[in-house]
Structure 1
Amino acid sequence: MDASTTKRVLLLGKTGVGKSSLANTIFGETIFQINHLSGSKNHSTQAETKSIHGRSLTLIDAPSFFDAGSSKEVMKPEIVRCTTECAPGPHVFLIVLKVEKFTEQERAVITNILDFFSEDALKYAAVVFTHGDQLPEGVKIEEYVSQSEGLSDLVKKCGGRCHVVDNKYWKTDEDDYRSNQFQVAELVKTIDNIVVDNEEGFYTNAMLQEVEKAIQKEEERIKRSSGNMSQDEIRKQAVGNVFKMMTDNSPRRWMKGLAALAVIAGILAALAHILIDSNVGKAITEATLIEQIVTPIATVVEEITEKVPEVSESVGGIVETVTDVIQPTVETPPTLDFFDICSDLFERIYDPWNPFE
């Protein structure tokens, strides 16, 4: 299958709502492993690709790290796995809920999802209800949703997109509303519409973009020594390698974090020095920048890379970022706020996978 035309669909929801079963229902066969242990945290991210109704879809069944009370430290590997599987970003989010009362627990799960991504993600989302047998006879899902203020608000934010399936009972091939075959066909149309509405784009954020850069870099490395591996095989191996790197807590990784902090400390100290000591209204010249910022930073970099050679590449990237940040200050009055500059630097070089996060 052509990866460039495959649409990534991320299934989100709390433990026990039937995400894995929904994925199997969409694909029409049992591909995803179903965890029948209620409340179990052993469920891992699964991703599979298949052609359905003439479209290539990758379904990514995310673990329930959005459950209230889930330990971020314990779930971090699965968060990383989910992120690497859907990088550079999902085309569609399917928020999976049961046909049941919309309680504070469900509200908390939605809040956790939006905190992790953002409310912008809802422009790419649809709500899918499972356990459709609980839907009163003759009642459509839109009518059911309208009876709950919380559900109505959520579905409205998702562009009014909602569907219902029943992974256990709606097994008939009849072309009517209470049929998985009918509902899946409608859901695939909704996926198409979401992609079109977003101009063939996908949801992304800074974290997903950084993960994708790492994957592409690993793909290039694999290509140079892969022999006759296909692009799909290369991508799969690259994703796996990046996942391992991101969850590696070896001493070398800790040294990288320490080196990065040392560089940042040197950068901020140099910036503080020039901003505090410069006369108000006096232009900051390129010579001043070289003397008071570039040279001190270069000294710090040299000391770190001499002691820890393997961090030279990541340190070099930080230095390039600093150059981008300070360049606009050349030949301009030093009226910039020091804390704004520090904040900008932090946003540019912050690594969410750094052990010092």
Structure 2
Amino acid sequence: ESSKFPKGGLRIVLIGGRKLTGKPSHKSATGNIILGQNVFDTSKRTAKSVVRQQEVHGRHVTVVEWHYPVENTPKLDQIEIKNSVYLCPPGPHVFLLVIPVYVRLPQIFRASLEEHLKLLTAMFWKHTIVLFTRGDWLGVKTVEERIASEGGLEWLVNKCGNRYHVLNNMDRSDEMQVKEFLEKIEEMWAGNEDPQYELDNATKTEAGKEAVEQRV
């Protein structure tokens, strides 16, 4: 195990989907690629977040896939995102904002994204990497060229401190791309002054009450 890797393994929360970007994010498939097993159901969406764990390249990796509530509103989404934080205590090391590299993010989707995520505090963005899927779509174009050509993507990458990665989720046989990605997360974690994302006490109390109200 790498000396730079978090003790006890890496905790990841996947965020993304059609209702934030207007396009499918391939989020479940991405979770399966990272863990190297078909542990997330890609055939349907459920209303609650799901946690899965695997040993990946000698590391213990926990992935939480955040799901949209059946009744989709920013408030309910915020509750479910906060619940996803509780599924990997004491908190995730990284959030992966999963977006197809070909997607456009017009202003309406940027506003929607910020509305859904605003209760996670500014600290959220310090722990977030934009994970572009469908890297095969780029062809000979670089991801930097793609980001520069689409204002919404440039805005999002800047929001995340210029942290991004491209995954070719159409090629399940390329294990090295996952290893390289884990190493990039490792590097981000090692350089972060806060080792993991945690909800503050007030938000924890609020989230706990909301979770009970919504799930009973």
Q: Secondary structure at the match of 1:126?
A: strand
Tell me if 1:63 matches 2:67. Answer: yes
Cα distance change, pair 34–193 in 1 and its aligned pair in 2 (3 A)? same
Tell me if 1:194 matches 2:166. Answer: no
Q: Are the equivalent residues in 2 in contact too, given 1:163–1:183 (CA < 8 A)?
A: no
Tell me if 1:88 matches 2:90. Answer: yes
- Residue in structure 2 matched with residue 27 of structure 1 by the alignment: 35
Greater C-alpha Rg: 1
- Residue in structure 2 matched with residue 125 of structure 1 by the alignment: 128
Q: Distance in 2 between the 1:125 and 1:70 partners?
A: 23
Q: Distance in 1 between the 2:203 and 2:142 partners?
A: 39
Q: Which amino acid aligns with 2:8?
A: T
- Residue in structure 2 matched with residue 170 of structure 1 by the alignment: 171
Offset, 1:61: 0.4
Cα distance change, pair 210–141 in 1 and its aligned pair in 2 (3 A)? same
Tell me if 1:147 matches 2:149. Answer: yes
Cα distance change, pair 159–54 in 1 and its aligned pair in 2 (3 A)? farther
Q: Are the equivalent residues in 1 in contact too, given 2:53–2:62 (CA < 8 A)?
A: yes
Offset, 1:113: 4.2
- Residue in structure 2 matched with residue 46 of structure 1 by the alignment: 50
Q: Distance in 2 between the 1:72 and 1:209 partners?
A: 16
Offset, 1:59: 0.6
- Structure 2: where are the runs of 5+ without partners? 1-5, 19-23
Q: Which amino acid aligns with 2:54?
A: K
Q: Which amino acid aligns with 1:170?
A: D
Q: Which amino acid aligns with 1:61?
A: E
Q: Are the equivalent residues in 1 in contact too, given 2:92–2:198 (CA < 8 A)?
A: yes
Offset, 1:77: 7.3
Offset, 1:78: 4.0
> Which structure carries more strand by proportion?
2
Offset from partner CA, 1:306-334 (integer Å, 9 cap, x none): xxxxxxxxxxxxxxxxxxxxxxxxxxxxx
- Could you list the structure 1 runs, at least 4 aligned residues long, displaced by more than 6 angstroms after superposition: none
The structure showing larger relative contact order (alpha-carbon pairs under 8 Å, at least 6 residues apart) is: 2
Pairs aligned (count): 201
Q: Distance in 1 between the 2:155 and 2:76 partners?
A: 32
Q: Secondary structure at the match of 2:87?
A: helix
Offset from partner CA, 1:33-74 (integer Å, 9 cap, x none): 1144xxx5x343111112212222111100135x9x823676
Cα distance change, pair 35–154 in 1 and its aligned pair in 2 (3 A)? same
Q: Which amino acid aligns with 1:123?
A: K
Q: TM-score, normalised by structure 2?
A: 0.77
Offset, 1:4: 5.2
